[in-house]
Every structure is written in C-alpha cells, then in structure tokens.
Amino acid sequence: MDLSNAVLGHYHATQLQRRIATPVLQVGKDTFTRSQLAGVDCFNYLACAFLTAALAPLKVKDTADVFEHVSPEMLALPRVGVVSLAVLGRGVSSQGPRRRHAVDHVVQETFGEVGDVRVHQTRRTGRRGRRAETAAAADTHSAERRAPHARGTLHGARHRHLTSDRGDA
C-alpha cells in the first residue's frame, strides 16, 4: 500500500503502516496480519480480536494445537460466534494448501460427517427452540382433535343463523 507522506502527513502514514504490519489474529505463536487475511478474503478484524482474546486464556501453542486440543464447546463463549470460527478457518487456509481442509477435518472428527453437524445451542436459542416445539405440538394436537368437530359446529350455527333470517331453513 502506497502511503504518501505528502498527502497523509508523516504521523498518519507511519501509523497506518504500523497498523498494516501489526497482527490482528494471534493464536499462540501463529500470527496473522491484515494483508495475510485479506489474501483469503477475510476482512472481519473485530472477530479476529474477539477470537484472539478468547484463545489467550486457553494457552494454545498454535493453530494446530487449537484443532487438536480445544473442543468446540470450549469456544462457545460470548462474542465468539460462527464468524470468529470462520476467521480461524480462513487464517488456517492462508497458511498454505495442505492446511486448507483442517477445519473440515476437525469438524468431521468431532461430529461425524460435515453435513450432519448440529449447530451448537446456547441457552437462549435452546429455550426458543423448546418454546417453538411446544407451541407447534400444542397447535398440532388441538388442530387434529378439535378442528373437524369445531368447524362443523360453527359452520352449522352460522348456516342456521344466516338461513333463519331469510326464512329458507
């Protein structure tokens, strides 16, 4: 990136050059800069910061250590979501072609086939899912048991009411 001192000024040009060279994602000894991640179409640097902060207390050595020793449940933390895990996968894919399928391999070992992966439920999504299932079951039962009888009774009452006014009944 060409940062002109004449246009930006010396201070801002050097600050931008430092920012470009500073790693945005750090996983143990592996570091990823903005330009490395941009090379694999990854531009979500906030997710990189969240993932870096989440992996720091786990004391991982490198990205391989994350895939070998950190279970997906350990990364079910606030602010570390699907985008952060996608950033980790893109960081691994920026390291070269032999590491590109590492994420799929770990998911396959952990959960079975990649197509069979269940989304990790948080307490909030789990409660929403249970409420929806309960409401759907209640609607199904009430519709199965009462719909034909209620429909017939109400239709008959309406029909009698409308036809009694005309004297057709």
Which tens digits make up the pLDDT trace of 53-68? 999 999 999 888 888 8
List the domain boundaries for the chain.
23-120
Q: How confident is the model at residue 139 (pLDDT cuts 50, 70, 90)?
A: low
Q: Note the pTM of the prediction, 2 decimals.
A: 0.58
Residue 20's contacts (CB-CB under 8 Å, 6 or more residues apart) are 1, 33, 34, 35
**87-100 pLDDT, tens per residue?**
888 888 777 766 65
- According to DSSP H, which parts of the chain are helical? 5-8, 10-21, 34-38, 45-55, 63-69, 82-93, 102-111, 123-166
Burial of 129: CB neighbours in 10 Å, binned 0-12, 13-18, 19+: exposed
Q: What's the rounded Cα separation, in Å, for the pair 34 and 15?
A: 14
The pair of structure tokens assigned to 1 is 């990136």
Dihedral angle, C-alpha 126, 128, 134, 137, nearest 10 °: -100
